[in-house]
Amino acid sequence: MADIQLGNVLTKEAMILDHTPFNSKEEMFQLLSEKFFEAGVITNQQAYLTALREREAMGPTYMGNLIGLPHGRCDEVVKSGIAFCRCSSPFLYQSCGEEGDVKYVFMLAIPGNQSADQYMRVLATLAGLLAKEEFVDQLDSVHSYDEMLALMKACS
């Protein structure tokens, strides 16, 4: 099996830098799912939001270290995507009984027809990157999509 190249699924149109802190996780879901819709990653925003909420009910997506990793898988996702949002300061992120401050959100959109193995490989690859201190420490210094791609590549 080939390695997952996260740069191939990072969605340029769904990358937001220095957003004002969200009032809620739901507000963040709305904005990033809208970006996925506008980018053509999903065909139905409501169906994707439902998939996100269903996944949230299964277990926490709060990763600690100021990171939220929400993800949804449904048939209305037409191509895999990763949205990235960096907030100007942290907001309270509540997920399946856990909560903490989140400044960096990596949201995944996974096609419903993609195998569970493929889905887990994308998730595991991203989670592995997020576990690397040198990657997380540099998230504040990213100023563009190309800089994020370079950082992902350098830390992979």
What pLDDT, in 10s, does the model give residues 62-80? 999 999 999 999 999 999 9
| CB neighbourhood size of 98 (10 A) | 13
Q: Return phi, psi of residue 116, to 5°.
A: -60, -35
Mean pLDDT calculated for residue range 15-21: 97
Domain parsing of the chain, residue ranges: 8-149
* pLDDT (0 to 100) of residue 3: 54
CA distance 21 to 18: 9
pTM for the model stands at 0.94
Mean pLDDT calculated for residue range 116-140: 90
Mean pLDDT calculated for residue range 110-133: 89
- What CATH number does the domain located at 8-149 have? 3.40.930.10
Mean pLDDT calculated for residue range 37-62: 96
- pLDDT over 90 (residue 45): yes
Work out the pLDDT band at 156, boundaries 50, 70, 90: confident
